[in-house]
């Protein structure tokens, strides 16, 4: 079996010189560097995957066009295709931002006027970031330059944040819980309470296209149906577990993460449990990457990667700076996880497509990173003890 050669294609010196000199493919081969590919309608396709690095040829001058492709070779081609398409198609590529910030001195920092109250979650609306905190304030920060635009008030014990329906919704971690609403097109002021009498101390909130879901610390789920009049209708169902925290929607189902025991629950539209997946201890705030769910497990310093379509645990990631991991975020290519253990002060980064580690990075001493989200260009990280929002 002829295997396509590895990524590192070393061109013969003569060929390299020829390419640098702008030599035409007639001098080098019939189709680009390849002497065994006809200059016909298929040549541009071969050249495209060669120039993109999807294939390196069987030698520096041959492509072996008539041979079949083995499944092993195909894996290489497809893997490189995915990586190339995601890399080129990202907004970071168009903005010429191929770097990964290596330390906290390279971050952009925004000072929030939320004092140093415990952090809540953060979400992007595509342009601005919305940050909740337990002190009742919700900050709006412009993504392009990190400027603090507005601070809304009255979101008592604000924690979870959701941007949906043209609004910003914030979960109030009171007992009973509340759901607050912000109309971002209006001047900043006090939030509106659109639902109350929810489950005890909601953490994360999610949206399924018509209803708002809230995961509550008492193990219940509150399902809120937006309506024309306030209060919005809410139902609260029990999950059978005791300490729900994280929540997400994968395009088909809501999933909830339970702290102890560490479980990830797949829910039906009524909130009934369809599927219980065993994950690590103290499951936190997961993220969906389009195929898999990444669940930070704070007590065993791991991240469980669960295939959403089947509920199968694909891998349990450890190391790479994980130290009381709390919140996961996805930017289209990478998954970032915040580590909240005192003294850890790091975020961990993985390549989402193959689960390989990309390193961990300090956010600065005493910063205890918690909430995290992406706007498609940057990751944004809440550093509550120092009252900052970091752009990674």
Question: Of 335 and 384, which CB lies nearer to other proteins in the complex structure?
Answer: 335
Question: Of 28 and 306, which CB lies nearer to other proteins in the complex structure?
Answer: 306
Q: Are 157 and 143 in contact (CB under 8 A)?
A: no
Angle, alpha carbons 56-352-58 (nearest 5°): 10
CB of 314 to other proteins, least distance (A): 6
Those residues whose C-beta lies under 8 Å from the C-beta of residue 286, and which sit 6 or more positions away, are: 246, 248, 255, 257, 264, 293, 294, 295, 296, 328
Question: Of 25 and 64, which CB lies nearer to other proteins in the complex structure?
Answer: 64
CB of 266 to other proteins, least distance (A): 8
CB of 388 to other proteins, least distance (A): 22
Question: Of 14 and 268, which CB lies nearer to other proteins in the complex structure?
Answer: 268
If phi > 0 it is left, if psi is from -120 to 50 it is alpha, else beta; for residue 301 that is left
CB of 374 to other proteins, least distance (A): 5
Question: Of 212 and 217, which CB lies nearer to other proteins in the complex structure?
Answer: 212
Q: Are 389 and 373 in contact (CB under 8 A)?
A: no
Question: Of 104 and 250, which CB lies nearer to other proteins in the complex structure?
Answer: 250
Q: Are 245 and 263 in contact (CB under 8 A)?
A: no
CA 192 to chain centre: 29
CB of 339 to other proteins, least distance (A): 15
Question: Of 176 and 298, which CB lies nearer to other proteins in the complex structure?
Answer: 298
Distance CA 25, CA 95 (A): 32
Distance CA 358, CA 331 (A): 14
Distance CA 386, CA 363 (A): 11
CB of 17 to other proteins, least distance (A): 28
Q: Is the dihedral of CA 44, 46, 47, 51 positive or negative?
A: positive
CB of 307 to other proteins, least distance (A): 7
Distance CA 137, CA 9 (A): 55
Those residues whose C-beta lies under 8 Å from the C-beta of residue 305, and which sit 6 or more positions away, are: 292, 293, 294, 295, 313, 314, 315, 316, 317, 355
Give the C-alpha distances (Å, rounded to integers) separating 67 from 38, 70, 150. Answer: 14, 9, 62
Question: Of 76 and 191, which CB lies nearer to other proteins in the complex structure?
Answer: 76
Examine residue 195 and say whether the peptide bond preceding it is cis (omega within 30 degrees of 0): no
CB of 288 to other proteins, least distance (A): 6
Question: Of 31 and 279, which CB lies nearer to other proteins in the complex structure?
Answer: 279
CB of 385 to other proteins, least distance (A): 25
């Amino acid at each position: 079996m002829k295997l396509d050669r590895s990524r590192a294609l070393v061109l013969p010196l003569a060929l390299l010189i020829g390419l640098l000199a702008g030599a035409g493919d007639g001098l080098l081969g019939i189709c680009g560097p390849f002497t065994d590919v006809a200059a016909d309608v298929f040549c541009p396709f071969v050249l495209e995957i060669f120039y993109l690095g999807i294939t390196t040829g069987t030698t520096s001058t041959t492509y072996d066009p008539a041979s079949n492709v083995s499944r092993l070779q195909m894996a290489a081609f497809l893997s490189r295709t995915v990586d190339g398409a995601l890399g080129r198609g990202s907004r970071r590529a168009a903005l010429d931002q191929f770097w990964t910030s290596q330390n906290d001195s390279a971050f952009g920092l925004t000072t929030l006027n939320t004092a140093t109250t415990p952090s809540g979650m953060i979400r992007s609306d595509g342009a601005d970031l919305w940050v909740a905190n337990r002190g009742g304030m919700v900050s709006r920060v412009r993504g392009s330059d990190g400027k603090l635009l507005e601070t809304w008030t009255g979101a008592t014990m604000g924690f979870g944040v959701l941007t949906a329906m043209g609004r910003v919704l914030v979960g109030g971690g009171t007992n009973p819980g509340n759901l607050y609403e912000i109309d971002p097109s209006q001047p900043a002021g006090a939030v509106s309470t659109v639902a109350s009498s929810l489950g005890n101390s909601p953490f994360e909130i999610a949206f399924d296209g018509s209803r708002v879901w809230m995961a509550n610390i008492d193990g219940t789920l509150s399902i809120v149906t937006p309506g024309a009049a306030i209060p919005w209708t809410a139902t609260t169902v029990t999950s059978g577990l005791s300490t729900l925290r994280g929540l997400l929607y994968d395009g088909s189902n809501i999933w909830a993460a339970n702290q102890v025991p560490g479980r990830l629950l797949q829910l039906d539209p009524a909130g009934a449990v369809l599927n219980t997946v065993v994950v690590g201890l103290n499951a936190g705030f997961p993220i969906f990457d389009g195929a898999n769910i990444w669940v930070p497990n704070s007590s065993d310093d791991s991240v469980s990667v669960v295939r959403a379509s089947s509920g199968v645990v694909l891998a349990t990631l450890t190391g790479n700076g994980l130290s009381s991991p709390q919140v996961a975020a996805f930017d289209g290519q990478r998954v970032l996880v915040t580590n909240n253990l005192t003294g850890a002060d790091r975020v961990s980064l993985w390549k989402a497509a193959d689960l390989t580690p990309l390193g961990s990075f300090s956010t600065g001493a005493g910063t205890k990173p918690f909430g995290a989200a992406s706007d498609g260009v940057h990751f944004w990280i809440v550093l509550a003890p120092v009252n900052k929002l970091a752009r990674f």
